[in-house]
Amino acid sequence: MVIGTTLTALLSKIHFNAFAEETIASVLGKAPPSAEEEEGEFYSSLVVMVATGVWCFVLGNIVNSGDTKKSSQPAKDPAKEL
């Protein structure tokens, strides 16, 4: 949550959403949106979602990777223990 909140505040402070809208409008050859139009945080939300998703994926893989050290004892066969 800290990463998402901090990134949202940072992107809002630098007006990332307005920059993204202007860039997309210039690439598509359309007129940039006017200041009268309702301003949202769609592109900022997408960036935050991707960043937190990648962070959770990396941490999930680290946690679930298990012990990478090899055991000095051979693995026991459960069928032989009966």
Q: Where are the domains of the chain?
A: 2-56
| Tens digit of each residue's pLDDT (9 = 90 or more) over 48-70 | 999 999 999 999 999 998 776 66
Q: What is the pTM of this model?
A: 0.71
Query: Amino acid identity, residue 32?
Result: P
Residue 73 DSSP class: S
Higher pLDDT, 38 or 24: 24
Contact 54, 77 (CB under 8 A): no
pLDDT (tens digit, 9 = 90+) per residue, 10-35? 999 999 998 999 999 999 998 877 76
Single-letter amino acid code for the residue at 63: V
